[in-house]
A and B are shown apart, each in its own frame.
Chain A
Amino acid sequence: MEKEPKAKEGIKGWINPAKYRKFSIERFAWILMRITGLGLLAYFIGHIYETSHILDGKAVWDASLEMTQTTEGHIFLALVIGMCVYHTGNGIRLMLGQMGYGIGKPARPDYPYKPQSLNMKGKACIYATIGVAALAMWYGIAVMFG
């Protein structure tokens, strides 16, 4: 039987932002999408467990809520807001890209072989998404500490 090809670098490959010897915002967006996705899944599992404490009565619910009502808890929740907004914004950009919007027209590959899809529109969307995520975190902090 023919041997399956393997991604030799594994996790070391996808967490290295300078994999192709040059930092790019697209690669940073790709890594951040995975990190925020994993972070949000971990938060979601924790959230489902935390909310199940409602079944154990008021005292247990209040004790469990106490954990998020601290400065550290608020900072953690602000991070969750940031991850959520970034993951959503970048996800919408990727969906639009897969539908063919904003990725440019096909062209002959000439030196220096710049991909049409890695254009200014995409870069602007990534920077805007990071900016909106930061604003959402700031708003979340204002509500939680307010």
Chain B
Amino acid sequence: MMILKESIVMKIHYGTALGAVFLTVIHILMRMTQDFHESLQYENVIANYEMIGYAIMLELLLILISVHGFNGLRVILLEMKQGPTYEKVVTYGCIASMAILIAYGSRTILLTSMGMV
């Protein structure tokens, strides 16, 4: 069962990895702009979310890591066992988990960046 060709999926896997590394570095550097513990204080985190550019970056990071992470999990699970039903369950299970995680994380980003806390 294939939704996309495996070669395309792996290109997406590598692309999301490079994008995620770049954005994670920015995400971590944001914590270094001030004292590490201070940067995690409630008011500072809210201020971070309310910066529209940073909120968009967090959303992108959420999508990139979710796609990369759940595709990685799918690859590991398919390495261990094969079979038409098993592969279908693993593929759709990973896509569903990825969608749920993106939706849940997006809810936090959206509500916080719009000041609904």
Binding site for B on A (CB under 8 A): 4-7, 10-11, 13-14, 34, 37-38, 40-41, 44-45, 48-49, 51-52, 54-55, 57-58, 61-62, 65, 69, 84, 88, 91, 95, 143-144
User: Are the CB atoms of A14 and B80 closer together than 8 Å?
Assistant: yes
Nearest neighbor of A40 in chain B, beta-carbon distance? B69
User: Are the CB atoms of A48 and B69 closer together than 8 Å?
Assistant: no
A-B contact pairs, 30 of them (CB 8 A): A4-B82, A5-B82, A7-B80, A7-B81, A7-B82, A13-B80, A14-B79, A34-B76, A37-B69, A37-B72, A37-B73, A41-B70, A44-B69, A45-B101, A48-B101, A51-B105, A52-B104, A52-B105, A52-B107, A52-B108, A54-B45, A54-B46, A55-B112, A58-B42, A62-B42, A84-B24, A88-B17, A88-B21, A95-B17, A143-B36
The residues of B that contact A40 with a CB separation of less than 8 Å are 69
Compute how far the CA of A65 lies from the CA of B41 in the bound complex, rounded to whole angstroms. 9
The count of chain B contact residues (Cβ–Cβ below 8 Å) is 34
Other contacts beyond A4-B83, A14-B79: 5, CB < 8 A = A5-B82, A37-B73, A54-B46, A55-B116, A57-B117
A53 CB to nearest chain B CB (Å): 9
The residues of B that contact A55 with a CB separation of less than 8 Å are 108, 111-112, 116-117
Nearest neighbor of A45 in chain B, beta-carbon distance? B101
Binding site for A on B (CB under 8 A): 14, 17, 21, 24, 36-37, 40, 42, 45-46, 49, 62, 65-66, 69-70, 72-73, 76, 79-84, 101, 104-105, 107-108, 111-112, 116-117
User: Are the CB atoms of A11 and B80 closer together than 8 Å?
Assistant: yes
Chain A contact residues, majority secondary structure: helix
Compute how far the CA of A62 lies from the CA of B73 in the bound complex, rounded to whole angstroms. 32
Which residue of A6, A54, A57, A58 is within 8 Å of B108 (Cβ)? A54
The residues of A that contact B101 with a CB separation of less than 8 Å are 45, 48
Compute how far the CA of A41 lies from the CA of B82 in the bound complex, rounded to whole angstroms. 22
The residues of B that contact A54 with a CB separation of less than 8 Å are 42, 45-46, 49, 108, 112, 117
Compute how far the CA of A99 lies from the CA of B62 in the bound complex, rounded to whole angstroms. 27
Compute how far the CA of A40 lies from the CA of B17 in the bound complex, rounded to whole angstroms. 13
User: Are the CB atoms of A7 and B79 closer together than 8 Å?
Assistant: yes
